[in-house]
């Protein structure tokens, strides 16, 4: 099914379109062997993106349009409040902001369980 068509062929030929026929899968779903079986060696180098949520601000549209460079937006979080560490939008841990050389960092203080 690996056909390579030149641009001219693709424009002149009609594509061969066929319906997909699905069949019922016997047995209970997910009853086979685990995909990784607890061994992360296949995926350990996959990059993920952690996000750190500091706080939010509720402002009006008028206040939004009044923002200029060097404006300050006050967040709802106090200076000693924990920050949320999120993976794919889900909170996985909490911590506090720290300075690491010339960057911000997070000191992880609590790792949430899967049930949270």
Residue 10 lies in a domain: no
Instruction: Report how far residue 112's alpha carbon sits from residue 60's, in angstroms, rounded to the nearest whole number.
Output: 34
pLDDT over 50 (residue 2): no
Give the structural domain span for 69: 47-116
Number of domains the chain is built from? 1
| Residue of 87, 82, 89, 90 lying closest to 110 (CA atoms) | 82
Distance from chain centroid for Cα 60: 28
Residue 82 lies in a domain: yes
Contact 113, 93 (CB under 8 A): no
DSSP type of residue 88: T
19 belongs to a structural domain? no
48 CA to centre of own chain: 7
What would the pLDDT profile of 15-72 be if each residue is shown by its tens digit?
A: 899 888 888 877 776 667 777 777 888 889 999 999 999 999 999 999 999 999 999 9
Q: Is residue 109 part of a domain?
A: yes
């Amino acid at each position: 099914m690996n056909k390579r068509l030149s641009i001219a062929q693709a424009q002149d030929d009609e594509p061969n379109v066929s319906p997909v026929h699905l069949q019922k899968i016997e047995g209970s779903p997910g009853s086979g062997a685990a995909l990784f079986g607890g061994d992360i060696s296949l995926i350990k180098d996959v990059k993920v993106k952690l996000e750190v949520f500091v706080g939010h601000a509720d402002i009006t549209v008028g206040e939004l349009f009044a923002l200029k460079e060097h404006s300050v937006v006050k967040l709802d979080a106090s200076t000693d409040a924990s920050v949320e560490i999120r993976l794919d939008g889900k909170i996985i841990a909490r911590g506090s902001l720290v300075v690491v050389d010339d960057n911000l960092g997070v000191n992880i203080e609590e790792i949430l369980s899967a049930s949270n």
